[in-house]
Amino acid sequence: MNVAVLHDEVERLKAELAQTQEALAQSEEARRRLESIVSDFQREKFGARSEKLSIEQYHLPLEDVEIAQGVLDAAHEKAQQIIKGRSDAGASHRRNRGHLPAHLPRVERIIEPQSRLCPCGCGEMARIGEDVSERLDVVPAQLRVLVTRRPKYACRRCSGAVVQAHAPEHVVPGGLPTEALIAQVIVAKFGDHLPFYRQAEIYARQGIRLDRATLGNWAGRACFHLKPIADRMRQHLAAADRLFMDETTAPVLDPGRGKVRKGFFWAIASDDRGHAGQGPPIVLFHYAPGRNGEHAERFLQGFRGQFLQVDAYEGYDRLTRLERPQGPWRLIHCWAHLRRRFVKLARNTKSPIAEAAIRQIAALYAIEATVRGTAPQLRLAARREHSAPIIAALKPWFEKQLSMISSGSRLAEDIRYGLAHWEGLTRFLDDGRLELDTNPVENAIRPICLTRKNALFAGHEVGAENWALLSSLVATCKLNDVNPVAYIAETLDAIINGHPQSGVEDLMPWRFRKSSIPNP
């Protein structure tokens, strides 16, 4: 081998080494970036109170972690390709994160080798198999123009009447949108948390100029037509024996002052799936300018229920003193709220008493998991056999710990919180229909918080009421595994085209045809 060949080989190896070192450096930098983000996230979540993020911001550093992990994976894979060679680099990384749904259309492409002739000169090779991979692709949402023609007919022999089909009714008479587009706009805001101005930007990328006021007008018109649906949902809730209730803030612009004042969305929910009940899951939101218990009393006016599952907010206490034919409301308090107090304390102080309380509450939830979805009688029997002894031992244990610790400590405050609401916390032992917590309504109210975070505030109180109504329909659709876009589009079309008011029950979300695409 001559000197020139050796020199070329040395240069090639140097180039490969430099490339390898560069790839490894990129991988190391990505790793350091990921460690930095995780460290920041841990400090902001578990560090000093002044450094913590609000609970609604936790998803932001988590998204950064996921992006950084993707950079790290890509850098690592590139380094492996360079070190091991491209031919076998992909073999160890073949993976499919779950199965792609069968209902999605498949578009196949076949990648043939450059030549199918045998290198030995034997002729064309025979096909002996194939490798198949599936990847999720996307076709951007396609807007289209729906052209409606209404031919006119007249008799050629006389100058009599002209015949023409009536123009169909629309939510926006003479306007641009179909009911399907209006439904998409509503669900994008109240289900997917996209404010109108962001939606307008998305449509602008496809050459459609729509301002936020126009989109809001469309949603308002739909809200007018959908109000009978919400009224009927309220009648269903009024007939339920057991309800959940919770509230969350709703910033509303104060006209004339240019400032935002705090209102509240109140959520009333019914969900009997935990005890195999036949009633459909429903959630209905209401807006109120305050958080006083008088608003809860007003929203529950005419309701016939007996049990109300709530947190320990004192505003609900007035409901226990109401004079009703059914008697006052009986409050069932939430074990999840009590558990969160001890979890927070255990994280911050490593208190063994708090950790012991968490274990006892976890035992109650473990028992519940074994009977979830079964009949109330079975749930009640399991609770009396397994949960009641835990409850019987837990109260004196709380009282003993309280006598041994400082009365001014946070631990003492949390224990007193539990003992003060003991009657409401233990009522689940008397009725198999009751739940340990208010998670059904908290889960339903979470999208309201996300929409509020993105939209910042409602324009006025009427806007907040419309927000509550549309959010109620979208959330109830999701609870019933119904595609909310299809439901709202078809329901608007039915109402506009004269569906009788007496048949409003047929338009309830849970009666809508089930979507083949499950909601997340």
* Ordered per-residue pLDDT tens for the chain, 520 residues: 577 777 777 788 888 888 887 777 777 766 766 666 666 566 555 554 443 444 444 444 444 455 555 666 666 666 776 766 654 444 444 444 456 788 888 889 888 888 888 888 888 888 888 888 887 787 777 788 888 898 988 888 887 788 888 888 888 888 889 999 999 999 998 888 888 888 999 989 888 888 888 888 888 889 889 999 999 999 999 999 999 999 988 776 665 555 667 788 899 999 999 999 989 999 999 988 888 899 999 999 999 999 999 998 899 999 999 999 889 999 999 999 999 999 999 988 888 999 999 999 999 999 999 999 999 999 999 999 999 999 999 999 999 999 998 888 899 999 999 999 999 999 999 999 999 999 999 888 887 776 665 544 444 556 678 888 999 999 999 999 999 999 999 999 999 988 998 999 999 999 997 543 444 4
Residue 124 has a pLDDT of: 86
CA distance 62 to 347: 20
Q: What total of structural domains would you count in the chain?
A: 1
With respect to residue 334, please indicate whether it lies within any of the assigned structural domains.
yes
Domain presence at residue 115: no
What residue type is assigned to position 104 of the chain? L
Count the alpha carbons within 13 Å of 372 in the hemisphere toward its beta carbon: 12
247 within some domain: yes
Write down the pLDDT at residue 188. 92
Identify whether 336 is part of a domain. yes
* Cα(284)–Cα(286) distance, integer angstroms: 7
Whether the CB-CB separation of 286 and 309 falls below 8 Å is answered with no
Give counts: helices (H), strands (E), the chain. Answer: 16, 7
In this predicted structure, what is the pLDDT of residue 519?
44
The verdict on residue 430 lying in a domain is yes
Give SS3 for 170.
coil
Return the exposure string of 391-415: e unless at least 16 CB atoms fall within 10 Å of the residue's CB, then b: beebeeebeebbeeeeeeebbbebb
Q: What is the distance between the alpha carbons of residues 290 and 440, in angstroms, rounded to a whole number?
A: 23
What pLDDT is attached to residue 283? 95
Task: Find, among 340, 336, 350, 356, the residue nearest to 397 by Cα.
Answer: 356
**Cα 54 from chain centroid (whole Å):** 18
Residue 103 CA to its chain's centroid (Å): 23
Contacts of 195 by beta carbon, 8 Å cutoff, 6+ apart: 189, 212, 454, 455
Which residue segment(s) compose the domain that 241 sits in?
A: 235-443
Looking at residue 2, its pLDDT comes to 72
Is there a domain that residue 292 lies in? Answer: yes
Identify each DSSP E strand in 320-389 by its residue range.
330-332
Q: Tell me, what's the pLDDT at 297?
A: 93
- Please report whether residue 178 resides in a domain: no
Q: Tell me what pLDDT residue 234 has.
A: 96
The one-character DSSP state at 429 is G
Q: Is residue 471 part of a domain?
A: no
pLDDT of residue 117: 85
What type of residue sits at position 324? R
User: Cβ(310)–Cβ(291) under 8 Å?
Assistant: no
